[in-house]
Structure 1
Amino acid sequence: MSAAEPTTTILDGSGVGPGGITRVLTEVVRHWPAGHRLRVVAAPPSWPVPADRAADVELVSHQASGRAGAIGAATATLRRVTAGAPRDRTRVLSLSPSAAILGSRLPVTTVVHDLAFRLWPHDLSTAVRQYRRVSYGAAVRRSARLLCVSARTRHDLLGLYGVADERTAIWHPGSDLAAAGDLPTPLADLSRRGGSWLVVAGHAPHKGVELAVDALAELPGHTLAVLTGGHRIDRFSAAVRRAGVADRVLFLGHLPEPEYAATVAGAAAFLMPSHFEGYGLPAAEALRLGTPAVVSPDPALHEATAGRAVRMTAWSAEALVAAVTAAVGGPRPAAGGHGRSWRTATEHLVGLLAAEPSTRPAARVAG
């Protein structure tokens, strides 16, 4: 089956949660090529189909409430929509590992973003670790092919699950954003006063925001804007109280894409002092917007930014201060000069879906 031939792709979103994976869903749907049909199963609650899409898109269902209910409903829906579908004209793509793919009557390709639940399980409840163990195990067993967003994730699949490289491929997401809009009110007020801000991704415990908070005392003249995505982390609030810098930290809730782009584009630097990443899309987006990026020593972040970010030499506040000082003191990156567009990334994804896997799924799945 050629990638140029019109097809129907059933896109499973049951494993998609807050953060960068939701952006991946939105941009992939937005840039899916015209003439190819998409049927989206179990999209996140309230997720809207992009109005500026090119393809024929049908939103079959949103995620049901509760983890068990969401997976059960998605499994049943996948079973229904794949039953009787022509195998030579229909493909199934899961945007993140999910046990719901067990309901598919057709081969499945799964995108794997990271294996954080195995390599950085801190702060995850026992229930979440067990759920991810089941969902990732199902994805490894059932998927005909696994697409890894970084070489680091591909390496982790081999080491933890014994998945041979012949059964995987690397797919880097796009990094372009819509033109920047208005700043959120707190930053607009700060900008009018001539203030400068640093932005840090902060919607999950492994993002290392506590390092940015501890570094703030040695970074005078900057306010720290924490992007929570609507998921405020208690330990980060506690770190702010402990450091006594509440007057210089802004916790921002979920931002519409234009406000997000304006916030990042207007920052003195974008920080990702993460303890673990599978890729690091926000850092790549910052560079593409022309904002200096500072990243931790994590290898996936180095890969996502192609070595163009200033890299911390250790996971410490001191190393972050040195990296921010270097980033802010140097020339700003050229806007649009890093990464690839979502259109290019989606075309690559469509091509990977059309390719036949060279090996069958492995029988062994490590716990």
Structure 2
Amino acid sequence: MRTWCELYPADELVVLGPSWVRDSFAGPDVDFVTWPNERVVARSTGQMLLQPLLAAVKKVDAVVSLSPIVSPLVFARPTFCFEHDWRHLKNKDEFGVAQRAYRKLWELSAARATGCLCISDKAENETLELVRTASTEIVPNGGDHPRRWEVGDLPVHPRPMVVTFGHHNNKRPDLVIRGMAKLPDNAALTVLGARGELAAQLKSLAASLGKEEDVLFPGFVEEPEYQRIIAGADCVVVASSDEGFGLPIAEALYFGIPVVVAEDSGVSDMHGPDVIAAQPTPAGMAQAMAEALARGRTASGGVSSWADTVQLLRKKVANSL
């Protein structure tokens, strides 16, 4: 949104989303309509019913959903949805019944949308494999948004700091913790996003491996703190079982921070030699993290631009009108 407003200030944007989007976007004049999306029922209602109503009332030219769902009830105007990954079909055991039922809407959306905008070759290949009638085009994510971060003076860690993620079980933070246990004792690990029962399980695991003092669990943090943690890391690990792109990968590469990914996630093909692909085992993770820490920071990576993303997206929309 920020980049679109910078490049095309004459365009009128109507944004439907949760209140945190409006609160965090203190930018140009954008017409915000807030709708809660924390729960499946509220989210799906907004996407399927409020979205077409808003399109009609606001008389918009086109509807672009940054999620995989754009309502099939939108009429007389082109519709676009973004495809990130289809891991709910590939790794069904990672999702509950309600989540799987909700994500069935993805297939309906992909089949009916004017265009399915895929963030990577991987996302496009998976989409066409699962929804053969989908009209797909690749619109890659940008990765230069950390240029807006105001991180100030970064913390100086007394020992190497590794950062990983635990807000969903597919992030496999347990694998990273087990790998950390095989590293020398001078490294520390921050697990972002873990909370509730999963956080308790991970803390117990760290304690059982003698790493209770070496693994930090700040849970979900505010955006400024998240930015400081990422920008100040010595290594970022994205151990997901499947990823469509992995924004934290691009964020770390922007700062020249070495990144470790799981070789079965599919993201190493996207980010190429800029990341270290690890076998999804504790030993494999340990070896890759040791290599990353030994490599250290490099010059900022050549991440893709959100300006390129917006220009390509806007061209697709304009051509459909």
| Structure 1 counterpart of 2:272 | 306
Answering whether residue 21 of structure 2 is matched by residue 47 of structure 1, we say yes
Q: Which runs of 4+ in 1 moved over 6 A?
A: 229-232
- 1:316/1:150 Cα in 2 relative to 1: closer, same or farther (>3 Å)? same
Query: Structure 1 length normalisation: TM-score?
Result: 0.77
Task: Report whether the alignment pairs 1:228 with 2:193.
Answer: yes
Deviation at 1:74, TM superposition (A): 4.3
> 1:38-95: per-residue Cα shift (whole Å, max 9, x none)?
1112x124332554534x3111222267422343244333232322766xx7110011
**Letter paired with 1:173:** N
- Determine the structure 2 residue equivalent to 1:117: 88
Separation in 1 of the partners of 2:7 and 2:195? Answer: 28
1:290-318 per-residue CA deviation (whole Å, 9 max, x = no partner) reads: 21111111364214423211111x21111
Asked whether 1:211 is paired with 2:175, we answer: yes
In 2, the alpha carbon distance for the partners of 1:295 and 1:68 equals 33
How many angstroms does 1:163 deviate by? Answer: 4.0
1:69 equivalenced with 2:42 (yes/no): yes
Quick one: which amino acid aligns to residue 42 of structure 2? G
**Aligned-residue offset at 1:327:** 1.4
CA deviations over 1:211-249 (Å, ceiling 9, x no partner): 110011222211100111778734534432443322111
CA contact (8 A) 2:72 2:113 kept: no
Contact 1:46 1:62 (C-alpha < 8 Å) held by counterparts: no
Task: Name 1:295's counterpart in structure 2.
Answer: 261
Q: How does 1:325-344 map to 2 (within 5 A)?
A: 325-335=290-300, 337-344=301-308
Instruction: Determine the structure 2 residue equivalent to 1:136.
Output: 106
Is 1:95 the counterpart of 2:70? The answer is: no
Q: Which moved more, 1:58-67 or 1:220-229?
A: 58-67
Please state how far the C-alpha of 1:326 moved relative to its aligned partner.
1.4
Residue identity in the other structure for 2:299: A
Uncovered stretches (5+) of structure 2, i.e. residues with no partner: none
Q: Tell me how far 1:37 sits from its aligned partner.
A: 1.0
Residues 111-170 of structure 1, C-alpha deviation per residue, up to 9 Å, x if partnerless?
A: 01110100122231112111111x112212221110111111111112222246xx2111
Rounded Cα–Cα distance in structure 2 between residues aligned with 1:232 and 1:78: 34
Pairwise mapping of residues 135-284 of structure 1 onto structure 2 (< 5 A)?
A: 135-163=105-133, 167-176=135-144, 177=146, 178-181=148-151, 188=155, 191=156, 194-219=158-183, 220-228=185-193, 233-234=198-199, 235-284=201-250
CA displacement, residues 85-106 of structure 1 (integer Å, 9 cap, x when unaligned)? 66xx7110011123x6133223
Distance 1:118 1:238, change over 3 A: farther
Tell me if the contact between 1:269 and 1:327 (Cα under 8 Å) persists in the aligned partners. Answer: yes
Does the Cα contact within 8 Å between 1:280 and 1:304 map onto a contact in 2? no
Aligned pair partner of 2:54 in 45, 69, 81: 81
Q: Is the 8 Å Cα contact of residues 206 and 275 (structure 1) preserved in structure 2?
A: yes
User: What is the CA–CA distance in structure 2 between the aligned matches of 1:84 and 1:60, rounded to whole Å?
Assistant: 12
Match of 1:107 in 2: 78
Structure 1 letter corresponding to 2:307 = R
SS at match of 1:93: strand
Instruction: Output the CA distance in 1 between the equivalents of 2:220 and 2:11.
Output: 31
Cα distance change on mapping 1:246 and 1:299 into 2, 3 Å:
closer
Are the counterparts in 2 of residues 173 and 345 from structure 1 also a CA contact under 8 Å? yes
Q: Is the Cα contact below 8 Å between 2:18 and 2:34 reproduced in 1?
A: no
Measure, in 1, the Cα distance between the counterparts of 2:302 and 2:196.
29
Instruction: Report SS of the residue matched to 2:260.
Output: strand
Q: Secondary structure at the match of 1:118?
A: helix
Secondary structure at 1:315 match in 2? coil
SS of the equivalent of 2:273 reads coil
Q: More helix per residue: 1 or 2?
A: 2
Percent identity over paired residues: 24
The AA in structure 2 aligned to 1:152 is K
Aligned length: 316
What secondary structure is seen at the aligned counterpart in 2 of 1:224?
A: strand
**Could you tell me how far apart the structure 2 residues matched to 1:139 and 1:278 are?**
18
Q: Which amino acid aligns with 1:137?
A: E
Q: Which runs of 5+ in 1 are unaligned?
A: 1-25, 358-367
- Please, what TM-score do these two structures have when normalized by structure 2? 0.87
1:235-275 deviation line (CA, Å, top 9, x unaligned):
53443244332211111233333322221222111111221
Contact 2:120 2:140 in 1 (8 A): yes
